[in-house]
Chain A
Amino acid sequence: MSNYDKSMALTGQPPKSLSLNQKLATVLGMMGMGILLLATFNVSFPNKTLWLTVSLLAISLGTLWFSWDAYSRKLPGIKNDGVWFKSISSRGLWGWMAGLALTGFYIILYFYPEYLGLVNGGENKGVIALFDPLSKLLSGNPASQWFVYGTLYTVAILIFGIKFLWKYRHNRYERLRTFSVMFFQLAFAFIIPEVMARLNGHKILNGGSLPYYDLKSIWPLNYYNFEGYRIKGFLSSGDIGFALLIFGIISIFVITPILTYRYGKRWYCSWVCGCGGLAETAGDAFRQLSDKSVNAWKIERWVVHSVVVFVTLMTTAVVYSYLGTDTSKYWLTKSTFLIGVAALLTLVFGLVMLFKRDQLQKDAQYGAIGYFVIIMALIGFHFFSGEGQVFLFKSETLRKTYSFLIGSIFSGVIGTGFYPIFGSRVWCRFGCPMAAILGFQQRLFSRFRITTNGGQCISCGNCSTYCEMGIDVRTYAQKGENIVRASCVGCGICSAVCPRGVLKLENGPLEGRIDSNQILLGNDVDLMSLVNQK
């Protein structure tokens, strides 16, 4: 509310002002960033290892010092004082500046890496060169823009992870979850793939070389996993390569459904995933900015499911493009593959429509039918139009478009760049096809739900405000209805911020998981049973 900001003072008032320690910490962190910036503008640092270390240490220590000062003298408990007064976390000037800076960084990273100092086939320059020593230490190769990004990404998850651990030190669910995302980012996304690169050409891989593989990144999030060059890489790398390829396939078709059935999609989205990891740590300060309106929910459903359709078509087309036609050479040919895809989609669609139709809203039913018809028509079209290109498009065009629109613009520039404007989970909510597939299962076939505690809700709105996925949690809680939503990533913050102990994330029997009461617990027993009869 604007009337709360009448003061003309340049310094903030508690709780939005910075302490002396926090100001010093900010200076320290900025100095670390300054080194990176100077390197970007080709200031040559004599000892790259030293200056890179100084820079990353300054950034990390600055952030940790700042957070320590914010939380160490406070008792364990919810720490949201002043969130909506601070410019950075309430779409104020600092919020917009941070948004612009991040967006700018992503645009340069994806489309103009030469400005960061990338030199193809030559010695790196700029900030990328600054990271060469670290990259050589890990993988033996010079750094790329992706290595710089990966390092900063990991550092961000680690330092803001520690901040988050302090902030929620009273909450073991939050702590364990944060340890988990920190571990998976550091080990699985950062160190293991880099070290694995050292094996390339080694006899253990039969002299082959593996594609860069973050093992926790599952198709369709890593939409490129089944592209021709990667398949070649896997298949040329002996048993290990073959095992990785198989792992890539079973992780989406076997592991994912089992874990999602047992725990909901949170096992991935807020315990393992790197995008989720960044959102939960560095993005935590922005979770309250997500749009909770019913309109936003409508847009979300259409956009995210369209991305699933897009990625399915694209991957099918890409795999199709490098398969052969001769069954005697290899059992999997272009035609068998397409028929297989069609059969699988029909099976899933058929089962859902048969058993779970009543759990889908009308528009979801129409949407599902629509998408199904489109895909089937395209596959059918292919068989009638003969060989050549798949569907109506060139697979390469489809892949490039997806990679540009979804892989770069959506997940990076908008997804992370706009943290301070749209909240921390824009990508996960509107764009991530993996989240959509997991969510689809979570809604229809999972033990996970957020239980509403009888009649204790006071409709205060903390749960909805702090839901990063824009779920209006209160709408359910005040009706005594369990929250079973496809988009819920199970971060547990709604439960944490609830002042009345109303919400609990839990796994339980499917029966009675989705329910809605007209009258809540605590009222006349006869009246309740009369009105709640279904």
Chain B
Amino acid sequence: MEHIAIIGNGIAGVTAARHIRKLSDKKITIISSETQYFFSRTALMYVYMGHMKFEHTQPYENHFWKKNRIDLIQGFVTKVNPEVKNVLLENGHAIPYDKLIIATGSKPNKFGWPGQELEGVQGLYSKQDLDLLEKNAPNNTVCQRAVIVGGGLIGIELAEMLRTRNIPVTFLVRENSFWNGVLPNGESQMINEHIQEHHIDLRLNASLKEIIADENGRVKSVIVAETGEEIPCNVVGLTAGVTPNIDFLKDSGIELGRGVKVNRFLETNMEDVYAIGDCAEQHEAIGNRRPVEAVWYTGRMMGETLAQTICGNKTEYNPGHWFNSAKFLDIEYQTYGWVFPEKKKKENETHFHWRHAKEKKCITIAFDQESKQLLGLNTFGIRIRHQIVDQWLSDKKDIDFVMEHLADANFDPEFYRTYEPQIVSKYNTDFGTSIQPKKKNLKRIFQLG
């Protein structure tokens, strides 16, 4: 029986394993040093916040793996030998494979800051990082202030986590507005305000110069590069992005760039070795996507795709319309298609932006200036029906159509106030149109003709 070994039990590796099992009887082994069972990485924050216990983050009951004949090995892979087709574990065991899937995910970026290895300095990615945070910042007596470096999704989550334990947080963001390498100005500005509402000391245009140690080799303070200010703190969170976790592959002969180099079939340069998820790097970026996509959903989609290839139906990784979501403290964010920030958008990309007068809700719709074709849509504080927008993007609907049918795309819970009339009226004012929004229509939504 063909033996499929998978390194990494995150969403990419586990999705691949599940789909291979659905399609075949192959022997499947998942190797991970992180935890015994698959858990949802994105849910780690809720464990620290006390919303869930760690076992709640495990999507499958423990008997699932045996029932589905997926063998789990807890161990750290130190070396991969594609020539002899085996992997070596730290404990000296060698595990032979017929096909190998590398799905080892990411690790937090460290840019060589002085003091970045001190005690009390940590990233937030793995279960081990969570345990470490529990040790470093159990409460606001042990951790009287934390400094977070890097204004992205993990940074703001870490800030939210620490605030639930009333730990004062200083948030260093290199850019002049939060996450504005991804978000257009209006949205980024709204999140700035929301961060401050949560009593987080947000410092824009501020990057880390160095981390200072106390006499015990623990963090004592950080120095801000731009101002030279010294901020005393007990914990430093490094959340300036992630990088593929591939150090163990260095001398394996597998071609590496930032990540494991793969083609559209997710194959590496070595036969029968594949890479998926955060650690995979496309030779050439697909569409507007980045060569390394460190996103939950893409990990899952690569797993779904590779399972086909491994089970005999050779399939390209050919993702559909881009989508993503996140939550900034209390504000939910969803994105479909492409909405670029001002500094990255192309000339033909026009934005329509609406923001609620009082509440933290807004929407940005990107469309082509000439053809008026919908390019993408961002919402904050308003939920959007994935299927509808996905359909609009496929059908290349224009912005006028989108405005008219906006109510169909709303996915907020029942009885929520809806804002389509206000949104459309702002659009009419901005672009000199006179579009009448249609009422939500169940037939259109459920596509019954």
For B51-73 the 0/1 string (1 means CB < 8 A from A) is 11110111101000000000000
Find the residue from A511, A518, A527 having the highest chain B CB count within 10 A: A527
CB pair B386 A75 closer than 8 Å: no
What's the Cα separation between A173 and B415 when bound, in Å? 6
Do residues B43 and A461 form an inter-chain contact, with CB atoms below 8 A?
yes
Query: CB distance A459 to B384 under 8 Å?
Result: no
Known: A14-B140, A459-B11. 8 other contacts (CB 8 A): A170-B330, A173-B413, A459-B42, A465-B56, A496-B413, A499-B332, A500-B326, A509-B446
The distance from the CB of A479 to the nearest CB of chain B, in whole angstroms, is 10
Smallest Cβ distance from A5 to chain B, in angstroms? 10
Closest to A497 in B: B51
Within the assembled complex, what's the spacing in Å between the Cα atoms of A14 and B48? 12
Interface size on A, residues (CB 8 A): 68
Interface locus among B173-181, B240-248, B296-304, B429-437? B296-304
- Residue A293 at the B interface, CB < 8 A? yes
Q: B50, B330, B390: which contacts A81 (Cβ < 8 A)?
A: B50
4 closest A-B pairs by beta carbon, nearest first, are: A454-B386, A77-B330, A460-B43, A501-B383
Contact A1 B59 (CB under 8 A): no
A26–B52 Cα distance when bound, in Å, is: 26
Cα of A176 to Cα of B413 in the assembled complex, Å:
12
User: A508: CB under 8 A from chain B?
Assistant: yes
Q: Which residues on A sit within 8 Å (CB–CB) of B138?
A: 6-7, 13
C-beta contact mask, B305-342 vs A, less than 8 Å → 1, else 0? 10010000001111111010111011010100000000
A525 close to B320 (CB less than 8 A): yes
A408 → chain B, closest Cβ, in Å? 33
- Residue from A82, A170, A454, A495 within 8 A of B387 (CB atoms): A454
- Count of B interface residues, CB-CB < 8 Å: 70
Instruction: Tell whether B40 is near chain A: CB-to-CB under 8 Å.
Output: yes
A85 to chain B: which residues have CB within 8 Å?
Answer: 50
B415 touches A176 (CB 8 A): yes
In the complex, chain A residues whose CB is within 8 Å of the CB of B165:
13-15
B413 and A504: CB pair below 8 A?
yes
Question: Is the contact region of chain A dominated by helix, strand, or loop, or is it mixed?
Answer: loop
Q: Does B394 contact A (CB under 8 A)?
A: yes
Which residues of A have CB within 8 Å of B332?
499-501
Alpha-carbon separation in the docked complex, A171 to B297 (Å): 27
- 15 pairs from A and B in contact (CB 8 Å cutoff): A15-B165, A78-B51, A78-B330, A85-B50, A455-B386, A458-B296, A460-B40, A465-B52, A492-B414, A501-B411, A508-B445, A522-B323, A523-B305, A524-B315, A526-B318
Please pick, from B59, B308, B383, the residue contacting A459 in the complex, using a CB distance under 8 A. Answer: B59
Decide if B395 is an interface residue (CB 8 Å cutoff): no
Task: Tell yes or no: B270 within 8 A of A by CB.
Answer: no
Q: Are B54 and A462 in contact (CB under 8 A)?
A: no
Cβ distance B131 to chain A, nearest Cβ, rounded Å: 8
Q: Is B352 positioned at the interface, with any CB of A under 8 Å from its CB?
A: no
B301: which A residues are within 8 A, CB to CB? 455, 522-524
The residue in A75, A461, A519, A531 that gathers the most chain B C-beta atoms within 10 A of its C-beta is A461
CB under 8 Å from chain B, chain A span 356-391: none
Most buried by A among B301, B308, B332, B385: B301
Which of A512, A519, A521 is within 8 Å of B390, CB to CB? Answer: A521
Minimum CB–CB distance from B317 to chain A (whole Å) comes to 8
* Closest A residue, CB atoms, query B384: A501
B166 contacts A524, C-beta separation under 8 Å: no
Q: Once the chains bind, are B51 and A527 in contact (CB under 8 Å)?
A: no
For the complex, is B1 an interface residue (Cβ under 8 Å from A)? Answer: no
Given known A-B contacts A171-B413, A500-B332, A508-B446, A462 and B390 have beta carbons under 8 A apart = no
Which chain A residue shows the least CB distance to B415?
A172
In whole angstroms, what is the CA distance A173 to B413 when docked? 7
Interface pair B40/A509, CB less than 8 Å apart:
no
A458 to B319, CA, bound (A): 17
Chain B, Cβ-Cβ closest to A86:
B50
Identify A453's interface contact among B22, B164, B385, B414, CB under 8 A. Answer: B385
Q: How many Å lie between the Cα of A504 and that of B409 in the bound state?
A: 12
In the bound complex, residues from chain A placing their C-beta under 8 Å from that of B22 are: 518
Q: With A13-B165, A80-B50, A81-B49 as given contacts, are A460 and B42 in contact (CB-CB < 8 Å)? A: yes
Give the Cβ gap from A265 to chain B, nearest Cβ, in Å.
15
| Nearest chain B CB to A215 CB, angstrom units | 25
* Complex CA distance for A459 and B44, rounded to whole angstroms: 11
Query: With a CB–CB cut-off of 8 A, which chain B residues contact A123?
Result: none
**A21 contacts the other chain (CB 8 A):** no
> Is B126 an interface residue when CB atoms closer than 8 A count as contact?
no
Is A478 close to B, CB under 8 A? yes
Chain A contacts of B57 at CB under 8 A?
Answer: 460-461
- The answer to whether residues A75 and B197 also contact, given A458-B43, A501-B411 and a CB cut-off of 8 A, is yes
Interface string of B397-415 (1 = CB under 8 A from A): 0000000000000011111
Our pick among A4, A173, A465, A500 for the contact of B327 (Cβ within 8 Å) is A500
The answer to the question of A392 belonging to the interface, with a C-beta cut-off of 8 Å to chain B, is: no
> Which A residues are in CB contact (< 8 Å) with B442?
508-509
The distance in angstroms between the C-alpha atoms of A13 and B166, with both chains bound, is 9
Contact partners of B413 in chain A: CB under 8 A? 171-173, 492, 495-496, 504-505
Chain A CB within 8 A of B396 CB: no
In whole angstroms, what is the CA distance A81 to B329 when docked?
A: 12
In whole angstroms, what is the CA distance A461 to B304 when docked?
21
Q: Is B416 located at the chain interface by the 8 A CB criterion?
A: yes
Which of A76, A293, A522 gathers most chain B CB within 10 Å?
Answer: A522
- Closest residue of chain A to B58 (Cβ to Cβ) is A461
| B265 at interface by CB-CB < 8 Å | no
Interface string of A278-302 (1 = CB under 8 A from B): 0000000000000001100000000
In the complex, the answer to whether A80 meets B334 with C-beta atoms within 8 Å is no
B51's closest neighbor in chain A, by CB?
A: A80
Contact indicator per residue, chain A 478-510, by CB within 8 Å of chain B (1) or not (0): 100000000000001001110111001110110
Instruction: Please give, as numbers and ranges, the residues of chain A lying within 8 Å of B415 by CB-CB distance.
Output: 172-173, 176
> Does B417 sit at the interface, judged by CB under 8 A?
yes
